[in-house]
Amino acid sequence: MKRRLMYFLIGVLAGMVGGYFYLRHRAEPPAAQPEVAIQEGKTIDFSSGKPEIRDTPEDRAALEKAKAEMDEATQDVVFAPTKPAEAAPAAEAERSTPNAQR
Protein backbone atom coordinates (compact mmCIF):
# COMPACT_ATOMS: atom_id res chain seq x y z
CA MET A 1 0.00 0.00 0.00
CA LYS A 2 2.83 2.40 0.85
CA ARG A 3 4.47 1.59 -2.45
CA ARG A 4 1.27 2.47 -4.38
CA LEU A 5 0.98 5.77 -2.52
CA MET A 6 4.61 6.59 -3.30
CA TYR A 7 4.09 5.87 -7.04
CA PHE A 8 0.91 7.92 -7.02
CA LEU A 9 2.66 10.91 -5.44
CA ILE A 10 5.56 10.62 -7.88
CA GLY A 11 3.07 10.57 -10.76
CA VAL A 12 1.21 13.62 -9.44
CA LEU A 13 4.51 15.47 -8.93
CA ALA A 14 5.69 14.56 -12.44
CA GLY A 15 2.34 15.75 -13.86
CA MET A 16 2.61 19.05 -12.00
CA VAL A 17 6.17 19.63 -13.20
CA GLY A 18 5.23 18.72 -16.78
CA GLY A 19 2.17 20.97 -16.65
CA TYR A 20 4.23 23.84 -15.28
CA PHE A 21 6.78 23.59 -18.09
CA TYR A 22 4.04 23.17 -20.72
CA LEU A 23 2.17 26.26 -19.58
CA ARG A 24 5.29 28.30 -18.88
CA HIS A 25 6.98 27.70 -22.25
CA ARG A 26 4.11 27.96 -24.73
CA ALA A 27 4.88 29.38 -28.16
CA GLU A 28 3.86 32.92 -28.93
CA PRO A 29 0.77 33.24 -31.13
CA PRO A 30 1.61 34.10 -34.74
CA ALA A 31 1.30 37.71 -35.80
CA ALA A 32 -1.84 38.65 -37.72
CA GLN A 33 -1.42 38.59 -41.49
CA PRO A 34 -2.10 41.95 -43.14
CA GLU A 35 -4.95 41.99 -45.63
CA VAL A 36 -4.10 43.14 -49.11
CA ALA A 37 -6.78 44.15 -51.58
CA ILE A 38 -6.36 42.55 -54.99
CA GLN A 39 -6.04 45.18 -57.68
CA GLU A 40 -6.47 44.49 -61.38
CA GLY A 41 -3.20 44.48 -63.32
CA LYS A 42 -0.91 44.92 -60.31
CA THR A 43 1.35 42.43 -58.57
CA ILE A 44 1.76 41.74 -54.88
CA ASP A 45 5.40 41.16 -53.90
CA PHE A 46 6.02 39.12 -50.74
CA SER A 47 9.80 38.79 -51.16
CA SER A 48 10.53 41.26 -48.35
CA GLY A 49 8.24 39.43 -45.93
CA LYS A 50 5.54 42.07 -46.17
CA PRO A 51 3.07 42.49 -49.02
CA GLU A 52 3.96 45.33 -51.39
CA ILE A 53 1.75 46.28 -54.32
CA ARG A 54 3.84 46.95 -57.41
CA ASP A 55 2.90 48.34 -60.79
CA THR A 56 6.06 48.55 -62.86
CA PRO A 57 6.41 48.12 -66.63
CA GLU A 58 8.34 44.88 -66.07
CA ASP A 59 5.49 43.49 -63.96
CA ARG A 60 2.89 44.47 -66.56
CA ALA A 61 4.97 42.83 -69.31
CA ALA A 62 5.32 39.63 -67.26
CA LEU A 63 1.56 39.58 -66.61
CA GLU A 64 0.76 40.04 -70.30
CA LYS A 65 3.26 37.34 -71.29
CA ALA A 66 1.81 34.87 -68.77
CA LYS A 67 -1.74 35.65 -69.88
CA ALA A 68 -0.79 35.10 -73.54
CA GLU A 69 0.86 31.76 -72.66
CA MET A 70 -2.24 30.61 -70.73
CA ASP A 71 -4.55 31.66 -73.57
CA GLU A 72 -2.36 29.81 -76.09
CA ALA A 73 -2.27 26.67 -73.94
CA THR A 74 -6.04 26.57 -73.48
CA GLN A 75 -7.20 27.58 -76.96
CA ASP A 76 -7.79 23.97 -78.05
CA VAL A 77 -9.47 22.82 -74.83
CA VAL A 78 -13.13 21.98 -75.30
CA PHE A 79 -15.46 20.64 -72.65
CA ALA A 80 -18.47 18.52 -73.51
CA PRO A 81 -21.80 19.93 -72.39
CA THR A 82 -23.17 18.44 -69.21
CA LYS A 83 -26.08 16.05 -69.47
CA PRO A 84 -29.22 17.43 -67.82
CA ALA A 85 -30.47 15.41 -64.86
CA GLU A 86 -33.61 13.43 -65.54
CA ALA A 87 -36.29 13.32 -62.85
CA ALA A 88 -37.23 9.76 -61.83
CA PRO A 89 -40.93 8.94 -61.39
CA ALA A 90 -42.03 8.67 -57.74
CA ALA A 91 -43.09 5.00 -58.03
CA GLU A 92 -39.77 3.96 -59.51
CA ALA A 93 -37.85 5.87 -56.84
CA GLU A 94 -39.91 4.14 -54.13
CA ARG A 95 -39.16 0.66 -55.54
CA SER A 96 -35.43 1.36 -55.72
CA THR A 97 -35.24 2.31 -52.04
CA PRO A 98 -33.84 -0.73 -50.18
CA ASN A 99 -35.57 -0.09 -46.85
CA ALA A 100 -38.97 0.98 -48.09
CA GLN A 101 -41.80 -0.19 -45.85
CA ARG A 102 -44.83 -1.68 -47.59
Most confident range, picked from 6-10, 55-59, 93-97: 6-10
- Enter the pTM of the model: 0.40
pLDDT in tens, 63-79: 899 999 999 999 988 88
43 beta partners: 54
What are the boundaries of each domain within the chain? 42-74
With 70 as the cut, is the pLDDT of residue 28 above it?
yes
Other C-beta atoms closer than 10 Å to the C-beta of 35 total 6
Q: DSSP string spanning the chain?
A: -HHHHHHHHHHHHHHHHHHHHHHHTPPPPPPPPPP----TT-EEE-TTSS-EEE--HHHHHHHHHHHHHHHHHHTT---PPPPPPPPPPHHHHHHH-TT---
With 70 as the cut, is the pLDDT of residue 90 above it?
no
